[in-house]
Amino acid sequence: MIDLKLLRKQPEIFYESLKKRNQTTEIIDQIIALDKEWRSYLNQVNNLKSKRNELSKNVARLKAEGKSEQADELITQSKTVGDEIADLEAKQNELEAQMLSLALYVPNTPHESVPIGKDETENVEIRRWGEPRKFDFEPKPHWDLGTDLGMLDFDKGSKLSGSRFTVMFGQIAKLERSIAQFMLDVHTSNGYTEVNVPHLVKRETITATGQLPKFSEELYTCERDDLFLIPTAEVSLAALHIGDVLDEDMLPLKYTAFTPCYRREAGSYGKDVRGLIRQHQFEKVELVWYAKPDNSFDALEQLTHDAEKILQLLGLPYRVITLCTGDIGFAAAKTYDIEVWLPSYNGYKEISSCSNDTDFQARRGNIRYRAKDGKMNYVHTLNGSGLAIGRTLVAIMENYQNPDGSITVPEVLRPYMKTEVIK
RNA sequence: GGAGAGAUGGCCGAGUGGUCGAAGGCGCUUGCCUGCUAAGCAAGUGUGGAGGUAACUCCACCGAGGGUUCGAAUCCCUCUCUCUCCGCCA
């Protein structure tokens, strides 16, 4: 949710923001017009209410004094004022509702450090880590590796649930679990609090975090109960403190959660159809920070490094890119994507997305903190995958494969897997 | 799933139609007092919105949303959540 007071004072910020995002700006004109009209009604209504309050006080006093004829006279007056209020207030509420529903569709303002660009082709790579392995044999894609090992079964996934669902057996199933546990152990030893969250959330919860109303197509819903399956643990973690006033001393709060994620993947027909890359259900370890506004962009650097650390410990080559203004997400002011090297793609594939949403979610969810000077401010929320587990599994399988189709278990996972090779 | 009780400020808790944004207590802040601490005394102590350079003024908020009324914390309806009992259950 954007700051309407800022919109009144400096509308140019928002025109600029939408232009940078390569989007049209009529919505800003509409909001400004509605806001102006709304305020004029608000003032009239407030003045009339003030008048009615005054009359009511006098009615009370006159009745107490036993002067009921005089009181009746004021009651008649008050009735007229009341009717007037009802009319104007109805109009005011309508304008307010229109204005807010539009405001919910305005994306966050990109940070000044975000490169300008029209779409994903203009994202900027900022660093690389590790060298992609040179194979002295023909490496297999993970779907062949897994199927040949008898541990990935795409047919059974389809049989049970349709396309983009997979069944895992044996060591691969265990690898998935080991990766999750490894990630949580690294993050918790790094200052994150592990949280176990609900996977079904209420409409208002997911609205506060920004997935609704705009992205309802992506969500699985349980209509009967008006509940939504989370597309990421970010929803639950970022909603933890809805309505709270935190102490400045508590910040930053750093949370991590391991959950499945459910996504309809509407509009991605034909994309990544083979293998585990794009599933309707996948597991992920998520990182979420509640930070102070003055250092939230430093926090984004830290959070991104925390996610990168997992890939470094696993010995998986990756690169980090900054999303340009045309590609950053709706709620984000700045986003880094981490992409891992996948032999089957002969390229880098997104495995984590780390964003600073600044006060965008905090405003929707009314998440504030009390500063030392006693002032109330909105917190800044940040989130990032640390990491997507399915894709990490894919990266390990493909990068650590052997000529005989077996897979070497990365050093750091051996304590969890209790074996050196999957075969 | 059935029956009942409840939700008031940072906390406890009064308040069932009228000068109630809300008694009282606790806590907190400031000042006084005091070898120190404690106690005592005094004042202050919510959030959001609109207007104003500002001092300040006005409006709203007693779980949420509607309704009745000239007027609602108080009456009515719906919802959410909490607690107790019964049933069921991993």
3-state helix/strand/coil string of A395-412: HHHHHCECCCCCEECCHH
What is the C-alpha to C-alpha distance for residues A226 and A203, in angstroms, rounded to an integer?
7
How much is the average pLDDT of A396-402? 97
What is the C-alpha to C-alpha distance for residues A53 and A411, in angstroms, rounded to an integer?
74
How much is the average pLDDT of A201-215? 75
Does A64 score more than 90 pLDDT? no
- Closest nt to A81 (CA→C1')? B70
Does A68 score more than 90 pLDDT? no
Chain B: bases < 7 Å from a protein Cβ: 18-19, 47-51, 58-60, 66, 70-71
pTM, to two decimals: 0.91
ipTM: 0.86
What is the C-alpha to C-alpha distance for residues A234 and A259, in angstroms, rounded to an integer?
10
Q: Which amino acid does the sequence have at A29? A: D
Q: Which pLDDT band holds residue A210 (cuts at 50, 70, 90)?
A: low
Q: Please, what is the average pLDDT of chain A? A: 92
- Between CA A200 and C1' B86 the distance (Å) reads 29
Annotation marks residue A355 as catalytic: no
Catalytic residue among A178, A296, A352, A353: A353
Token pair for A121: 């082709």
CA angle in degrees (0–180, nearest 5) for A354-A357-A358: 130
**Residues in a beta bridge with A353:** A337
pLDDT, tens digit, 9 for 90 and up, residues A219-249:
998 888 888 999 999 999 988 888 888 888 8
pLDDT, tens digit, 9 for 90 and up, residues A249-259:
888 999 999 99
Query: Read out DSSP for A197-238?
Result: --SEEEHHHHHHTT-TTTTGGG--EEGGGTEEE-SSHHHHHH
What is the C-alpha to C-alpha distance for residues A253 and A95, in angstroms, rounded to an integer?
37
Does A90 or A151 have the greater pLDDT score? A151
- Between CA A209 and C1' B39 the distance (Å) reads 51
Annotation marks residue A364 as catalytic: no
Per the structure, the residue whose CA is closest to nucleotide B19 at C1' is: A57
How much is the average pLDDT of A393-415? 97
Residue A220, CB half-sphere, CA atoms under 13 Å: how many? Answer: 14
Q: Are A285 and A386 in contact (CB under 8 A)?
A: yes
Distance, first Cα to last Cα, chain A: 51
Does A212 score more than 70 pLDDT? no
Annotation marks residue A224 as catalytic: no
Q: What percent of chain A has pLDDT over 90?
A: 74
Quick one: pLDDT at residue A213?
Answer: 64
What is the C-alpha to C-alpha distance for residues A365 and A242, in angstroms, rounded to an integer?
5
Among A38-52, A198-212, A276-290, A383-397, where is mean pLDDT lowest? A198-212
pLDDT, tens digit, 9 for 90 and up, residues A89-126:
989 988 988 898 898 889 999 999 999 999 999 999 99
Q: What percent of chain A has pLDDT over 70?
A: 99
Among A72-81, A125-134, A198-207, A307-316, where is mean pLDDT lowest? A198-207
How much is the average pLDDT of A9-27? 94
pLDDT, tens digit, 9 for 90 and up, residues A305-344:
999 999 999 999 999 999 999 999 998 999 999 999 999 9
CA angle in degrees (0–180, nearest 5) for A81-A85-A87: 120
Alpha carbon A65 to its chain's center: 61
Q: Are A382 and A300 in contact (CB under 8 A)?
A: yes
Parts of chain A belonging to CATH 3.30.930.10 = 120-422
Annotation marks residue A161 as catalytic: no
CA-closest candidate to residue A289, choices A279, A280, A299:
A299
- Between CA A334 and C1' B73 the distance (Å) reads 45
CATH class held by domain A4-103: mainly alpha
Token pair for A209: 């975090």
How much is the average pLDDT of A394-409? 97
- Domain A120-422 sits in CATH at 3.30.930.10
Q: Are A391 and A340 in contact (CB under 8 A)?
A: yes
- Between CA A80 and C1' B62 the distance (Å) reads 28
Parts of chain A belonging to CATH 1.10.287.40 = 4-103
How much is the average pLDDT of A21-45? 94
> Which residue shows structure tokens 């529903």?
A101
Quick one: pLDDT at residue A208?
Answer: 72
Quick one: pLDDT at residue A135?
Answer: 95
Quick one: pLDDT at residue A97?
Answer: 87
- Closest nt to A366 (CA→C1')? B48
Query: Read out DSSP for A78-98?
Result: HHHHHHHHHHHHHHHHHHHHH
- Between CA A275 and C1' B64 the distance (Å) reads 46
Which SS3 state, helix, strand or coil, does residue A258 take? strand
Which residues, 6+ apart, have CB-to-CB distance to A12 below 8 Å? none
Q: Which residues touch strand B (CB under 7 A)?
A: A 4-5, 39, 42-43, 45-47, 49-50, 52-57, 59-61, 63-64, 75, 78-79, 81-82, 93, 368, 374, 376
